[in-house]
Chains A and B, each alone.
Chain A
Amino acid sequence: MNGQRRFHRLFLLGVGSLLCVSPWAFAQGAPSPIGMTFRGGARLVDFDGRHFIRDENSRRKLLSGLEQTIAVRAYAYALPGEQLVGAGLRSCRVTFDLWEERFQVRLSEMEQIRNLVAASVEEVALHCLLFRSWPLGRPADWVRVSGMRAQITMVLELNPMSRERIERIQRWLTQPRGQQVDEQAFFGSFVSTLLTPRLGGAERSMTYRSQEFQVP
């Protein structure tokens, strides 16, 4: 009898959670929950993307001792027309220190930079890919689309094309013999000006999209 009550309590708790933290979203491929709560005008996102770096290849890269970047971009759109309501970015530069055998994480979000230390890949994932009550968009922007349908997209990227990498490629194209040789390639100089961060995208990326929900 007690067991039945516990089951009923858990079931009601589950349904209550579903009603309270709506909507649940599904990712491309494996489902991944994107939760959004509207608390006192602030729009807070809950998202767990830790599985993104659980695969063998990502672990190997993270343990390589070279700097890796994990970036999560979040967009909120009002529908129809995909009018952007808010956007957010969390970027982690992760370097495994082969000497000290620990991860150094440089986390940037909301114009803040934090230097963290992690002992394992799981801890890195916790720092970088777990979002709890993460504010997305300004309250004023949400007020503007009040009553409309909306949707949230989360894009997870491992080593996205960065300005720094573009610059390295540009240097390579401009001075293919190395920077020690003071000689500029004629065609390479032109080609390097055509390169942009949009060229190529990330080494690995996953996109999650929430279900549509009504903006209160």
Chain B
Amino acid sequence: MASIGIVALVSFGAASALGHAVLQEAHGLGINPAIAGELSQALEIYRAHLVALRACAEDKAGRIASSRDLVEVIQQGDEAKVREFLKNQLAQEGEDLRTPIRLIYLAIERQNQAWVQVGREPREVEEKSISLTYPIPVGEEIQLRTILTIPTSVFERYSHAGKFVDTYESLRTRIGAIAFFYLVVYIGVLLTAVIVGITVALGMGRRLTKKVARLVDGARKVGAGNLGVKLPVEGNDEIDLLTQTFNTMVQDLRSSRERIEYLQRLAAWQDMARRLAHEIKNPLTPIQLAVQDLASRYGGDDLSFAKRLREVSQIVEEEIRTLKRLVEEFSQFARLPAPILEEQDINECIREWAMSYDPRGMLPEEGASVPQSALPTLVLELSEGAIVLPIDWSLLRKAIDNLVRNAVQAIAEANIQPGVIKVITKKEEEHLRIEIHDNGPGVAPDQREKIFDPDFTTKSHGSGLGLAIVKKIVFEHGGSIECERSPLGGACFSMLLPLQGENRHPLSHNP
């Protein structure tokens, strides 16, 4: 803060000094005593010119008055000849274009009374006039009256030039004060700029400091194990970019941890499933055989007992079948292999899979009686062209199959007609999205996370392993899966798989 102040102060001082120097030089270029002197001299010359014009006017009039011809015509006493002479004089002077002076009136006066007169009156606004009188040397009291004019503009121009020089001189003599005002304004503008600059710098600095502090705090929380941190991104500067990267990193860490936890949990379940399958599967067949043997060996006459024995035998066999199915599912779950990825066109794979779509076969045994019309229709909405990506289709097919199976069962159980299941593929920037929609009863929002747990099921005869297997397969493909509400009204399972191997999640192959 102090350093900003010092830098600003030094810059301000330097800028002021420089500004002052520049100002002095700039003023000196245009306003200086040399120019003032030349201007005053030019004005003097202008004045001398006007004085000379006046003298010229007097000379014109004097020459006519002292003309020998004029004296002669007056002495002859012929008024017409005098008039003719005066007219000629006016005409001759009118043609003289060397000066702006015009002779506009001539009169011969006797005892101050006009005897002969020619010419016109002066124009008030356009012309300035003078009346000059000269005695004519003819012996008696006769005089020549002349009126000469000059355009008013000649004097107006002089007056304008005088004002210009006066203004210039006023500026020159007061240049110190005026330069001071310039400096004051310059410093004012400079100060404003500095204040605005400092305010902006402080504001930006504070914003940056705030963002950095937030990042540090976030990093500390992550370091303490809190991976739920998500920092707000307010702009698009470098710090925001860093924050965004931090958020992505934390999200990756979180998802990695979730994956690790999930896969670890699943591995434990797989281990338990393997043991359970082994422990249950082995005694099942002897039990079944023993019950069948017991039922067949009874030869007594007690009909009610025989009936009871058959019933019990049937119940036991049925439960053994259920157990066998469960054992089979557990075994499948336990034996789920690691994926072997191959570049394949997913759209083509799904089309082939859809050819063998058999909704009835997906129903449990007791649902075999469901009418054909109640079975849901499968609709494919696959993106145009091939989408080639590294997958293990045998596993991914199982995942899609499980999801569609669940949808078929949910629709049939809820007796929704017509049932619709839609499989959609969308190619996104770096991922492939596969969505499986249905118009079944859907999944309650609070169950959308739990349904992927191996010990969770909403079905009466389900093992809860189906969606766990799906999630594991998707995870092992480096993808993710989530359950949402479908626009069709039921559930939507959305799988996101990386299009390229490098986009796969680093922990995708971990158990």
Binding site for B on A (CB under 8 A): 64-67, 97-101, 161, 165, 168-169, 172-173, 187, 190-191, 194-195, 199-200
Q: Do residues B174 and A98 form an inter-chain contact, with CB atoms below 8 A?
A: no
Binding site for A on B (CB under 8 A): 43, 47, 50-51, 53-54, 128, 130, 150, 155, 158-159, 162-163, 166-167, 170-171, 173-174, 177-178, 181-182, 184-186, 188-189
Q: Which residues of B contact A97 (CB under 8 A)?
A: 128
Which of A99, A100, A165, A173 sits near B166, CB closer than 8 Å? A165
Question: Distance (Å) between the CB of A130 and the closest chain B CB?
Answer: 27
Chain B interface, DSSP helix/strand/loop, else mixed: helix
A101 to B130, CA, bound (A): 10
A172 to B189, CA, bound (A): 21
| With contact pairs A99-B128, A100-B128, A195-B181 given, residues A172 and B167 touching in the complex (Cβ less than 8 Å) | yes
| With contact pairs A98-B51, A99-B128 given, residues A169 and B170 touching in the complex (Cβ less than 8 Å) | yes
A110 to B155, CA, bound (A): 31
Q: Do residues A190 and B50 form an inter-chain contact, with CB atoms below 8 A?
A: no
Which of B128, B130, B166, B182 sits near A191, CB closer than 8 Å? B182
A195 to B184, CA, bound (A): 13
Q: Which residues of B contact A199 (CB under 8 A)?
A: 174, 177
| With contact pairs A101-B54, A191-B182 given, residues A67 and B171 touching in the complex (Cβ less than 8 Å) | no
Q: Do residues B162 and A187 form an inter-chain contact, with CB atoms below 8 A?
A: no
Q: Do residues B170 and A200 form an inter-chain contact, with CB atoms below 8 A?
A: yes
| With contact pairs A64-B162, A100-B130, A190-B185 given, residues A173 and B178 touching in the complex (Cβ less than 8 Å) | yes
Which of B130, B159, B185, B189 sits near A67, CB closer than 8 Å? B159
Question: Distance (Å) between the CB of A162 and the closest chain B CB?
Answer: 10
Q: Do residues A64 and B184 form an inter-chain contact, with CB atoms below 8 A?
A: no
Question: Distance (Å) between the CB of B160 and the closest chain A CB?
Answer: 10
Which residue in chain A gives the minimum CB-CB distance to B179? A191
4 new A-B pairs (CB below 8 Å) besides A66-B158, A165-B166, A190-B188?
A65-B47, A66-B166, A200-B170, A200-B173
Q: Which residues of A contact B162 (CB under 8 A)?
A: 64-67
Which of B50, B150, B170 sits near A165, CB closer than 8 Å? B170
Q: Which residues of A contact B174 (CB under 8 A)?
A: 169, 199-200
Question: Distance (Å) between the CB of B176 and the closest chain A CB?
Answer: 10
Q: Do residues A65 and B182 form an inter-chain contact, with CB atoms below 8 A?
A: no
Q: Do residues A98 and B54 form an inter-chain contact, with CB atoms below 8 A?
A: yes
A83 to B166, CA, bound (A): 36
| With contact pairs A165-B167, A172-B171, A187-B186 given, residues A98 and B50 touching in the complex (Cβ less than 8 Å) | yes
A165 to B168, CA, bound (A): 10
Which residue in chain A gives the minimum CB-CB distance to B159? A66
A64 to B169, CA, bound (A): 16
By Cβ-Cβ distance, the 10 closest A-B pairs, closest first, are A66-B162, A190-B185, A168-B167, A191-B181, A200-B174, A98-B50, A194-B181, A99-B128, A187-B185, A191-B182
B170, B182, B186, B189: most-surrounded residue (chain A CB, <10 A):
B170
Q: Do residues A187 and B150 form an inter-chain contact, with CB atoms below 8 A?
A: no
Which residue in chain A gives the minimum CB-CB distance to B50? A98
Q: Which residues of B contact A194 (CB under 8 A)?
A: 181, 184-185
Give 20 pairs: A residue, B residue, CB < 8 Å, sorted on A: A65-B47, A65-B162, A98-B50, A98-B51, A98-B54, A98-B155, A99-B50, A99-B53, A99-B54, A99-B128, A99-B130, A100-B128, A169-B167, A169-B171, A169-B178, A187-B182, A191-B182, A191-B185, A195-B181, A200-B170
Q: Do residues B181 and A65 form an inter-chain contact, with CB atoms below 8 A?
A: no
Q: Do residues B159 and A200 form an inter-chain contact, with CB atoms below 8 A?
A: no
Q: Which residues of A contact B171 (CB under 8 A)?
A: 169, 172
Q: Do residues A200 and B167 form an inter-chain contact, with CB atoms below 8 A?
A: no
Q: Which residues of B contact A100 (CB under 8 A)?
A: 128, 130
| With contact pairs A199-B177, A200-B174 given, residues A65 and B184 touching in the complex (Cβ less than 8 Å) | no
Q: Which residues of B contact A187 (CB under 8 A)?
A: 182, 185-186, 189
A174 to B188, CA, bound (A): 18
Q: Which residues of B contact A165 (CB under 8 A)?
A: 166-167, 170
Question: Distance (Å) between the CB of A189 and the closest chain B CB?
Answer: 9
Q: Which residues of B contact A191 (CB under 8 A)?
A: 178, 181-182, 185
Q: Which residues of A contact B184 (CB under 8 A)?
A: 194
Q: Which residues of B contact A169 (CB under 8 A)?
A: 167, 170-171, 174, 178
Q: Do residues A64 and B54 form an inter-chain contact, with CB atoms below 8 A?
A: no
A57 to B497, CA, bound (A): 102
Q: Do residues A168 and B54 form an inter-chain contact, with CB atoms below 8 A?
A: no
A64 to B155, CA, bound (A): 12
Q: Do residues A65 and B185 form an inter-chain contact, with CB atoms below 8 A?
A: no
